Amino acid sequence: MHGDNGTEAFMLLLRWVKSYLPENQQVYLQCLRGGAYVLRKWSDAFSRLYCRFTLLVSRFNADQIEALRAVPRHRLLLETDAPYFPLEGRDFSSPSILRYTAEAVASLRKENPLDLMRQAAMNADDLFQCPK
């Protein structure tokens, strides 16, 4: 819904997931749009929480930006969520726009986009246990 950052949905999901998963379970939140409260509650519940962000960060409010900045660097992931969240002026997204996601996230976190992409790739390898 327009203007909804999903706080209620994220919190209901957390309540349900906590009853099934151990605290040390690797978990990732796809397309995180919740604010600092949501991030804090999920981080408290799961010590191995990863957060994935899309180009939606370009429309984040101050609370959502605070949450984005609070995600530890070694737990941050990038995504395009293609075909959704296209670049302005385009009808759909594709994996090829990951660079723009990295630039948007890096700008808000005051980091170098290329360094952030490298870190996010290492984080994905860690989360999904990809062979080196």
The four Cα atoms 70, 71, 77, 83 give a dihedral, to 10 degrees, of -50
Q: What is the pLDDT of residues 87-102, one digit of tens each?
A: 788 887 888 889 999 9
Instruction: Give the least confident one: 9-13, 26-30, 81-85, 107-111.
Output: 81-85
**Span 48-106, pLDDT tens digits:** 999 999 998 999 999 999 999 999 999 999 998 878 777 788 887 888 889 999 999 99
Answer yes or no: is pLDDT of 2 > 60. Answer: no
Q: Tell me the HSE value of 33 on the side-chain side, using a 13 A CA sphere.
A: 17
Domains in the chain with CATH codes: 7-19+27-128 (3.20.20.140)
Q: What is the DSSP letter of 42?
A: H
Phi, psi of 99 (to 5 degrees): -55, -40
Give the distance, in angstroms, between the CA of residue 98 and the centroid of all CA atoms in the same chain: 13
